[in-house]
């Protein structure tokens, strides 16, 4: 996927994410899965790295699953207090977790195959028509690309803080629920401090280099070849068929 032009790569992954939302049957979901698998095969991402983002979201995905599985009002199989387990709830919970996981994988594939400057310039081209509405497209695309560049740094810093907290408690009794909440609080606060510090440092760096948010369209990003044409037309055809009901 890294061989695709950055702008058409963005279009491909954008329509792929939209296709995930419109796939509502086994056959349509199978087609979307095959496209994601093909994108992975043509990428430089390893299999272990691909599933790492989903593994890091395991507790969030479990929370989503339980929230949807245990509060369904139709076809109740088991009920206790306010909790109601049903087949409809289980199916709905599975579909939501599946879609969130798949979108996470697609987003990771895109960011791993694109540099920050490519994401920035591609977003600018995509949002360029909004300039007619006097929307600061250049500032929005720069903010999004800079935010994406800091995600890995924040994740790495949170992992280091978590390991430090764990080492300090080695040999001590297991944490209670309240102590675990306080441990997370001790991690979140330094992350926020680091975020403000990095934003301050970045603003000084951009100001010292005379950075201007005014951007121009990079024409080489708009050049289309056989690879770009096949990739974009393929995913666009699948998306149109999903929306129109041609794939069921």
DSSP assignments along the chain, one per residue: -TTS-HHHHHHHHHHHHHHHHH--SHHHHHHHHHHHHHHHHTSS--HHHHHHHHHHTHHHHHHHHHHHHSB--SSEEEEETTEEEEHHHHHHHHHHHHHHHHHHHHHHHHHHHS-HHHHHHHHHHHHGGGGGGT--HHHHHHHHHHHHHHHHHHHHHHHHHHHHHHHHTTTSPPPPHHHHHHHHHHHHHHHHHHHHHHHHHHHHHHHHTT--S-----GGGG---HHHHHHHHHHHHHHHHHHHT---
Residues 83 and 150 in one domain: no
pLDDT digits (tens, 9 = 90+) for 34-57: 999 888 888 877 766 777 778 878
* 44 assigned to some structural domain: yes
* 129 assigned to some structural domain: no
Mean pLDDT of the 206-228 span: 69
Residues 70 and 185 in one domain: no
* 125 assigned to some structural domain: no
Mean pLDDT of the 65-74 span: 76
> DSSP for 32-44?
HHHHHHHHHHTSS
**Pick from 108, 99, 131: which is nearest to 43 by CA?**
108
pLDDT digits (tens, 9 = 90+) for 100-112: 999 988 888 888 8
Phi/psi for 59 (5° steps) reads -70, -40
Q: Which of 122-131, 135-144, 216-225 has the highest mean pLDDT?
A: 122-131
How far apart are alpha carbons 22 and 239 in whole angstroms?
8
- Residue 217 pLDDT: 62
* 218 assigned to some structural domain: no
Write down the pTM of the prediction.
0.74
* 127 assigned to some structural domain: no
pLDDT digits (tens, 9 = 90+) for 74-101: 666 666 676 777 777 788 889 889 999 9
Residues 113 and 1 in one domain: yes
**Count: domains in the chain:** 2
* Sign of the four-CA dihedral 94, 148, 139, 203: positive
- Compute CA distances 204 → 33, 209, 210, whole Å: 44, 9, 10
* 170 assigned to some structural domain: yes
Residues 21 and 79 in one domain: yes
Mean pLDDT of the 164-193 span: 64
Residues 30 and 107 in one domain: yes
Average pLDDT, the chain: 78
Residue 171 clears pLDDT 70, i.e. is over it = no
Residue 199 clears pLDDT 80, i.e. is over it = no
Percent of the chain's residues with pLDDT above 90:
10
Residues 48 and 86 in one domain: yes
- Give the tokens for residue 172: 């001590």
Residues 57 and 150 in one domain: no
Q: Contact at 8 Å (CB) between 194 and 157? A: yes
- Residue 89 pLDDT: 79
Residue 177 clears pLDDT 60, i.e. is over it = no
Residues 154 and 83 in one domain: no
How far apart are alpha carbons 79 and 70 in whole angstroms?
9
- Residue 182 pLDDT: 62
Residues 146 and 58 in one domain: no
Residues 74 and 189 in one domain: no
* 217 assigned to some structural domain: no
Residues 166 and 61 in one domain: no
- Residue 104 pLDDT: 87
Instruction: Work out the number of other CB atoms within 10 angstroms of the CB of residue 125.
Output: 20
Residues 68 and 36 in one domain: yes
How far apart are alpha carbons 122 and 14 in whole angstroms?
12
Residue 167 clears pLDDT 80, i.e. is over it = no
* 131 assigned to some structural domain: no
- Residue 12 pLDDT: 92
pLDDT digits (tens, 9 = 90+) for 135-166: 888 778 777 777 776 766 676 777 777 777 67
Residue predicted with more confidence, 245 or 81: 245
Q: Which domain holds residue 102?
A: 1-118+223-248
């Amino acid at each position: 996927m890294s061989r695709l032009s950055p702008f058409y790569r963005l279009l491909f992954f954008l329509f792929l994410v939209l296709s995930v939302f419109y796939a509502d049957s086994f056959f349509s979901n199978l087609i979307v899965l095959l496209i994601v698998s093909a994108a992975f095969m043509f990428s430089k991402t390893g299999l272990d790295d691909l599933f790492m983002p989903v593994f890091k979201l395991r507790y969030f995905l479990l929370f989503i699953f339980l929230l949807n599985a245990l509060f369904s009002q139709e076809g109740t199989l088991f009920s206790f207090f306010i909790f109601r387990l049903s087949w409809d709830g289980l199916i709905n919970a599975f579909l939501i977790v599946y879609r969130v996981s798949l979108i996470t994988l697609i987003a990771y594939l895109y960011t791993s195959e694109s540099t920050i400057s490519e994401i920035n310039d591609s977003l600018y081209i995509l949002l360029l028509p909004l300039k007619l509405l006097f929307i600061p497209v250049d500032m929005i695309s720069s903010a999004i690309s800079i935010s994406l560049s800091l995600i890995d740094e924040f994740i790495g810093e949170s992992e280091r803080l978590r390991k430090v907290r764990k080492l300090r408690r080695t040999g001590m009794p297991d944490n209670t629920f309240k102590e675990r909440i306080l441990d997370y609080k001790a991690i979140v606060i330094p992350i926020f401090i680091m975020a403000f510090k990095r934003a301050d440092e970045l603003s000084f760096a951009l100001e010292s280099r005379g950075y201007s948010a005014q951007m121009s369209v990079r024409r080489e990003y708009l050049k289309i070849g056989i690879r770009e044409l096949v990739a974009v037309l393929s995913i666009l055809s699948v998306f149109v068929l999903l929306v129109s009901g041609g794939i069921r």
